[in-house]
Amino acid sequence: MRAAAFAFCPQKTTETTPFRVFEQRRRHHQQRIGRHFITEFYRRKRRPSSSFSALSSSSEMPKTTPESLKRLQNGSDVRGVALAGVENEPITITPESVFCLGCAFVDWLRETEKCTNNPMCTVGIGRDPRLSGPSLKDAFARGVQFKGGVAIDCELSTTPACFFATVSNRELGPAYEGCVMLTASHLPFNRNGIKFFTKDGGLDKKDVGFMCERAAEYIAEAEKEMAKGGEAKIESRPYIDKYSSILRDKIIKGINDGTNEPLKGFKIVVDAGNGSGGFFATKVLEPLGADCTGSQFLDPDGMFPNHAPNPEEKEAMESATKAVLASKADLGIVFDTDVDRSAVIDSFGKEINRNKLIAVLSHIALQKEPGSTIVTDSVTSSGLKTFIESKGGIHLRYMRGYKNVINKGIELNSKGINAPLMIETSGHGAMKENYNLDDGAYLAVKIIIEAVKRKNAGGGGIGEILESLKEPLESLEVRLKIANPEFKKVGSDVIEQFKQAIESGYFEPNFVCAKENFEGIRAESEAKGWFLLRSSLHDPVMVLNIESDEEGGVKKYAEQIVKWFEEKKFADVDASAIATI
């Protein structure tokens, strides 16, 4: 019999789920050596040869200051190092700082009138399997309670499920005024972070900025409250079952074959990379009749011992591809840690991520809404634009940053321009029909429905859709370091001069500026290739992407770009990375 709660591993037949075993071990160990100090135990166990030796001790916990709180902001998320032990990566996100953010979130919810129907203000708290998750959850809950709010423990969860906990209806349970997901997405085991949601979606950069600033008002209280020790009393209400039922319902309605087991005879391999995505096999696909044997790394494990849970990583995709081919599956699905991103693999082992994933989903969206606009990030290929246009769609190649892409789509829709899909090459993709939420599981659901319908109609696999997608022969991304704290300004100066060089015909063969440039500058040479130079969204680097349809093209274009940088002699930009190609 399958265990009721978070039964991740299809091969397991006992009631002792991997998650429970993990929790028991963690609790036992926490009691023995105290909260926060669990890293060493797992590290030694899983990586005996590692030189890792330090435990997080109170001496390694930095003092929370207004500046340290501000530094936790990473765009529209909070991110930091939560566990000690990795060289040159001191702890930056502490239980105290998370307490302060719990207080600030309740303030923000009340001040933006999100709690008018429930002045108490209820906040759900979900987390991925990182080892620092339980102590940060406890701290966030204490902050919420300190402000008179109600904290609910959503337990092990996914980022999209945390959003759904704010929009549920009566049948699915109470909708919380706010919900947070404790996760650092695909980043290594020692990091953690916070994503914030209300029923209107994920919070924007400016709201998170407000909270990181407001949090500073609670530093003194945090020190007092956290010094009390013990654990916060929080009601546990896992949400993942309800979220799974929403996804099952979508599949049943989407395939619409008159049965409650529309996936019978369909074999799907899920690779969750030991993040939070294992539920998708056991709670969504298997109950609908799918055969998920061959799935791997479904057990949540905060050390991510197999491969990084990240569909952008070669190792993750290769590992999942092997599993798909070995088990002769119809489809493979790879999730990132918190399941807001996914990629798929077809039955022939073709990896469908980046431009290919966008193409498949554009095809699906345009079938339903012909003539609509697909919003993507800036590094999408020229072949993708042609593909979208050949399907009768309009391609808006916007900026990097999934929030930028999603917000652009929301803006277009509000102006009456139909934009059903907004998606980044990273795999962050949102659909208008799904609350404009970047939801890796929902994208997987859309692809499964399409794949099953094709199979039922006697057609081939999902990869067929890509037959008309022209893929570049060569592609490359390099990041050029900027040694100047004013890196944004340095970047825009370089870009301005780069633009002038393109306009003057500096780059052969006949590169011209692309018609639409929403960030950096993109140069195109008809039927040969393109390159884009832009500033990174967060890091002190410039990013150069090159794609070529001619053999040796990337090298040829890169050499010209290196020459240009050498002539310009920018003091702060290190362009040597291009020369190593």
Which tokens hold the place of 249?
């319902």
- Find out whether 530 and 474 touch, Cβ atoms under 8 Å: no
Nearer to ligand G6P, 167 or 543 (CB): 543
d(CA 220, CA 71): 19
Nearer to ligand G6P, 314 or 538 (CB): 538
Which tokens hold the place of 43?
């590290």
Distance in Å, CB of 131 to ligand G6P, minimum? 22
- Find out whether 123 and 150 touch, Cβ atoms under 8 Å: yes
Torsion of CA 551, 552, 553, 556, to 10 degrees: -160
Residue at token pair 């321009």? 417
Which tokens hold the place of 220?
């003194």
Output the residue with the shortest Cβ distance to ligand G6P: 536
Nearer to ligand G6P, 543 or 554 (CB): 543
Which tokens hold the place of 173?
């349970």
Distance in Å, CB of 563 to ligand G6P, minimum? 25
d(CA 253, CA 288): 12
- Paired residues of 165 in beta bridges: none
Catalog residues that contact ligand G6P under the rule CB under 6 A. 400-402, 424, 426, 428, 536-539, 543
Nearer to ligand G6P, 267 or 403 (CB): 403
Residue 222 CA, chain-centre distance (Å), reads 30
Nearer to ligand G6P, 37 or 398 (CB): 398
Distance in Å, CB of 142 to ligand G6P, minimum? 28
Residue 42 CA, chain-centre distance (Å), reads 25
Nearer to ligand G6P, 9 or 494 (CB): 494
For 100, 387, 421, 446, 457, the CA distances from 454, given in Å and listed in that order, are: 51, 20, 21, 13, 5
Extended beta strands in 157-207, E state:
178-182, 191-198, 201-202
DSSP 253-273: HHH-SSSS-TTTT-BEEEE-T
Distance in Å, CB of 534 to ligand G6P, minimum? 7
Distance in Å, CB of 404 to ligand G6P, minimum? 8
Distance in Å, CB of 402 to ligand G6P, minimum? 4
d(CA 359, CA 544): 23
Distance in Å, CB of 272 to ligand G6P, minimum? 20
Distance in Å, CB of 424 to ligand G6P, minimum? 5
Residues whose CB falls within 8 Å of the CB of residue 124, separated by 6 or more in sequence, listed in order: 152, 154, 162, 165, 166, 176, 178, 179, 180, 237, 239
Distance in Å, CB of 427 to ligand G6P, minimum? 9
Nearer to ligand G6P, 234 or 543 (CB): 543
d(CA 460, CA 464): 6
Give the residue from 332, 339, 300, 298 showing the smallest Cα distance to 318.
Answer: 332
Nearer to ligand G6P, 480 or 523 (CB): 480
Nearer to ligand G6P, 79 or 356 (CB): 79
Distance in Å, CB of 99 to ligand G6P, minimum? 25
**Number of residues assigned to the chain:** 581
- Find out whether 449 and 394 touch, Cβ atoms under 8 Å: no
Burial class (CB in 10 A: 0-12, 13-18, 19+), 282: buried
Nearer to ligand G6P, 35 or 479 (CB): 479
Distance in Å, CB of 438 to ligand G6P, minimum? 9
Nearer to ligand G6P, 284 or 482 (CB): 482
